[in-house]
Structure 1
Amino acid sequence: MSTLHIFSKPLSHYCNNMLANLITAQDSVLLVSDACYNSRQFKQFSSALFLLKEDAEARDISLSHNESALDYRQFVELTLNAKNTITW
């Protein structure tokens, strides 16, 4: 894995064109906090899309069959395995 991008705000908070140029196919995207509301929209940036399980549950977000939820232990593992981490 190249870079892990961690988003905490809804997609409307960010510039889509900028994100499309900065997130590569090898990168992973992790949604935490209110970013979980826009999981389907964030899917355009990476096929390796994850949601923090506790945050999705706290917001009563049901995951679709192609979405992956991570607990905190898996979140730490994902961070440690990334070459770089960017928190937006």
Structure 2
Amino acid sequence: MLANLITAQDKVLLVSDACYNNMQFKQFSSCLYLLEEDTTARDISLNKEDIVIDYTQFVEMTLNAQNTITW
């Protein structure tokens, strides 16, 4: 299902419990972001290639996107 919605060029931001599945989502997009507050709250171990952003960057990403999908 996700393979039909996400292209390799799409930016994907994982929030809340989706942060637990960051390895699964890496197969769909090379631009994978995690919300810092959610990774901290869930004590998620990050890899050096993980991109963690804060709420300000999240808002900027949303404002700069042509389309957004939330599920």
Name the TM tier (shorter chain).
Answer: over 0.9
| Structure 1 equivalent of residue 56 of structure 2 | 73
5+ residue gaps, structure 1: 1-17
Q: How far apart in 1 are the matches of 2:68 and 2:39?
A: 21
5+ residue gaps, structure 2: none
| RMSD value, Cα | 0.7
| Structure 1 equivalent of residue 31 of structure 2 | 48
Aligned length in residues: 71
CA-CA distance at 1:21 after TM superposition: 1.4
| Structure 2 equivalent of residue 57 of structure 1 | 40
CA-CA distance at 1:22 after TM superposition: 1.5
CA-CA distance at 1:32 after TM superposition: 0.3
What amino acid is aligned across from residue 52 of structure 1 in structure 2?
L
- Aligned residue among 5, 11, 17 for 1:34: 17
TM-score, length of structure 2 as denominator length: 0.95
- Match status 1:82 vs 2:69: no
Question: Runs of 4 or more off by more than 2 Å in structure 1?
Answer: none
TM-score, length of structure 1 as denominator length: 0.78
The alignment partner of 1:85 has SS state of coil
Q: Percent identity of the aligned residues? A: 75
